[in-house]
Chain A
Amino acid sequence: MKKMLTAAVSRVWSGVAQKPVSRVLVASCNFSKDATFEIKKCDLYRLEEGPPDTTVLTREDGLKYYRMMQTIRRMELKADQLYKQKFIRGFCHLCDGQEACCVGLEAGINPTDHVITSYRAHGLCYTRGLSVRSILAELTGRRGGCAKGKGGSMHMYAKHFYGGNGIVGAQGPLGAGIALACKYKGKNEVCLTLYGDGAANQGQIAEAYNMAALWKLPCVFICENNLYGMGTSAERAAASTDYYKRGNFIPGLRVDGMDVLCVREATRFAADYCRSEKGPIVMELLTYRYHGHSMSDPGVSYRTRQEIQNVRSKSDPIMLLKNRMVDSKLATIEEFKEIDVEVRKEIDDAVHFATTDPEPVLEELGHHIYCDNPPFEVRGTSQWIKFKSLP
């Protein structure tokens, strides 16, 4: 079984494992303002053309993407520590390894577009505008958390970001509904609807595909294929692991999810497709999670440490971007080290906040049952214990 896994993984990664070729157009000054990079061609399904195979990265954007990915990486690793120290309870699903997906997606859309995802959401929470402080404080269940401590890891929301959804696959139809609202309102917005390789086998995803295609909803269905649905490899769960083809009558593309530039270009392409009223499109991001499914899963019973190490050393998204930028003189190693220091400080501050901010007051137990409602009494654990519905 392990041999099969390794073979499957190396088959999948054969393209990604090599170092990306970079071509520099401007080499005369100390720092280039920008550079053109070749990016991996996407596999296409029912599409004549795909995203471009080269892209221009400005120094400014590059440093921004690096900072964002590094912030997410550090934040997730801190969450791991906090969980082991029992500051975080319950479920905690980390996305370290998948940073290029969240950052690349955000780079390919506008802030006015919409995003919805599964429970492995911390990275997208950040790229959609929530601060590290508010994310970590939500994980530790404090009043300064983005959901005031009421939601936890899986239920964080922001403007045009609809969580954070605990039920596998439920976000599929929800995302199609958000896309329906986009079409209804006519403001040329799209909805990115993310789900994993495991969720791709949910019936409601097929229902969402059908209605999105039927009604030409501006929905980009994005399958984040990190090769494992909890402890079950993709091959053991899906009769077809070509997730970008699973939309059947919906065109699709398969994208190198470890390359932030590839993700950005593919997202731009997909969003443009939807904005031109052609209907939905499916995007499969080939990516990898370093952690297990959640903090209760060591992640090594169904895959080898060798495999994890392999991906880390050959395809780490942060390393890939940094090497590209250094090689093409867009930035120096020292600059990246400086960013690392700043990120570390930001995370440390956030951790301090998340571990010292008080828990919500007990009175808030009854708040936020209903929206815009006159006050009423909320029953506690017995008839004599009552909470108010409003402060």
Chain B
Amino acid sequence: MAAVCGLMRRPLEQVSGLLRRRFHRTAPAALQVTVRDAINQGMDEELERDEKVFLLGEEVAQYDGAYKVSRGLWKKYGDKRIIDTPISEMGFAGIAVGAAMAGLRPICEFMTFNFSMQAIDQVINSAAKTYYMSGGIQPVPVVFRGPNGASAGVAAQHSQCFAAWYGHCPGLKVVSPWNSEDAKGLIKSAIRDNNPVVVLENELMYGVPFELPSEAQSKDFLIPIGKAKIERQGTHITVVAHSRPVGHCLEAATVLSKEGIECEVINMRTIRPMDIETIEASVMKTNHLVTVEGGWPQFGVGAEVCARIMEGPAFNFLDAPAVRVTGADVPMPYAKILEDNSIPQVKDIIFAIKKTLNI
């Protein structure tokens, strides 16, 4: 009898336990995720989703990644999918492109984009141009990713920003994530894209945690390539940036807000194809434009934004010339005081905004 009662009781407890769980179930809370972990998650999810995806580069496998971005992936997926390469950028970038032509979906990591210069022929001539030259016969679904631009104290040969160089070339897509949501959504979109995509990450952002909203926690969360995001609404001036400087712009906006100046901060997210429409609509509202980037001023991303604004409907809405805040026009120096003054700081952004607004 007791045994039967016991049998009866247990299922009831289980049922009420289920009921309890269902009623107290909450939506996944926004997590704090670093940019590094966001990229890691994005790659992990895509590796799991599609067998044709694989990662190659220096130190990506057994070392867990020079900057630990690929931590844990080799342990999970093994030698076939996570491949350590010798120090042969031109060689392994070409191998990645060839593998993509033959139907795989490689992610080719450059330890920094400075080293991609050794392989740039493979990125441009073998990857970017091939679909066009072949009359649409040969797609090249390859992703080139790695840290881009200035780091801290790494001096001239390790600090160049390649946004303008890669952004120049038709056939390539070029994205530049700022926060964790950007990083995860863009790497996933890049991997699923059937075109060569350059993903310009930022080493100084890798360790920075951001709240990852619940929709970004889904395995199918994608950020469309070619769409900018308005990070902060404003009315007085449009401030456009990509990558780490987006954070500096938001800081500047916070400071200026106390003085009654409301900045609209736009995170470009994609360099090519550029979402000029979002910038235009914003400028038509605020009548002022400042662009901010880490790269050199001449022939840069900001120069392109300004040229396009001049060509489009927003020009007539400008109350002042568009202004660019960029890296200094020098090879990156080493000494801290010099380096600090070679990249745009919050004070430079504030200064440029006030100048534009004639304050």
Which B residue sits closest to A184, measured CB to CB? B104
Nearest Cβ distance between residue B175 and chain A, in whole angstroms? 14
Residues of A within 8 A of B (CB): 114, 116, 145-151, 155-158, 162-163, 165-167, 170, 172-182, 184-185, 191, 203-204, 207-208, 210-211, 214-215, 367-373, 376, 378, 383
B:191-232 near A, CB below 8 Å: 194-195, 226
Is B94 a contact of A155 with CB atoms below 8 Å? no
Is B260 at the interface (CB under 8 A from chain A)?
A: no
* A173 with B94: CB separation less than 8 A: yes
* Contact A210/B86 with A149-B135, A369-B171 known, Cβ cut-off 8 Å: yes
B residues apposed to A, CB below 8 Å: 54, 80, 83, 85-86, 88, 90-104, 106, 121-122, 125-126, 130-139, 141, 170-171, 173, 194-195, 226, 273, 311
The reply to whether B135 and A148 contact each other, CB–CB distance below 8 Å, is: yes
B135 adjacent to A208 (CB under 8 Å): no
Across the interface, do A173 and B134 meet the contact criterion of CB distance under 8 Å? no
What chain B residues lie within 8 Å of A215 (beta carbons)?
A: 83
Shortest CB distance B85–A (Å):
7
- In the complex, are the beta carbons of A211 and B86 less than 8 A apart? yes
Q: In the bound complex, do residue B92 and residue A173 qualify as a contact, i.e. CB atoms below 8 Å apart?
A: yes
- Contact partner of B125 (CB less than 8 A), chosen from A146, A170, A185, is A170
Residues of A within 8 A of B130 (CB): 155, 163
A371 & B194 in contact (Cβ 8 Å cutoff): yes
**A200 CA / B181 CA spacing, docked (Å):** 46
A178-B99, A371-B194 as given contacts; A150 in contact with B138, CB under 8 Å: no
**Contacting A177 at CB < 8 Å: which of B98, B134, B139?**
B98
Contact A147 B90 (CB under 8 A): no
Question: 5 other contacts beyond A172-B94, A173-B90, with CB at 8 A cut-off?
Answer: A148-B136, A155-B133, A176-B94, A207-B92, A207-B94
Contact between chains at B134 and A163 (CB < 8 Å): yes
A370 touches B171 (CB 8 A): yes
Task: Tell me the minimal C-beta distance from A196 to chain B in angstroms.
Answer: 17
Please state if B92 and A184 are interface contacts (CB–CB under 8 Å): no
Chain B residue at minimal CB-CB distance from A138:
B135
Q: Are B90 and A207 in contact (CB under 8 A)?
A: yes
Q: List 28 A-B contacts (CB under 8 A).
A: A116-B98, A147-B137, A149-B135, A162-B138, A163-B134, A163-B138, A166-B125, A167-B125, A170-B122, A172-B94, A174-B95, A174-B101, A177-B100, A177-B102, A178-B102, A180-B99, A184-B54, A185-B104, A204-B94, A207-B94, A208-B95, A211-B85, A211-B88, A368-B135, A369-B131, A369-B132, A370-B194, A372-B195
Report how far A165 CA is from B94 CA in the complex, Å: 12
Name A174's contact: one of B98, B103, B137 (CB within 8 Å). B98
Chain B nearest Cβ from A130, distance in angstroms: 11
B14 to chain A, nearest CB (A): 46
Give every chain B residue within 8 A of A191 (Cβ-Cβ): 102
Q: Given A162-B98, A180-B98, A370-B173, are A150 and B134 neighbors across the interface (CB < 8 Å)?
A: yes
Other-chain residue from A176, A210, A369 in contact with B98 (beta carbon distance below 8 A) = A176
Asked whether B103 lies within 8 Å of A185 as measured between CB atoms, the reply is yes
What is the CB-to-nearest-CB distance from B10 to chain A, in angstroms, rounded to a whole number? 50
Q: Which chain A residues border B99 with CB–CB below 8 Å?
A: 177-178, 180-181, 184
Query: In the complex, what's the smallest C-beta–C-beta distance from B300 to chain A, in angstroms?
Result: 18
Give bound CA distance, A191 to B94, whole Å.
Answer: 14
> Do B133 and A147 touch across chains, with their CB atoms under 8 A apart?
yes
Shortest distance between the CB of A212 and any CB in chain B (Å): 9
B86 — which chain A residues lie within 8 A by C-beta? Answer: 207, 210-211, 214
Name the residue of chain A whose CB is nearest to the CB of B96: A177
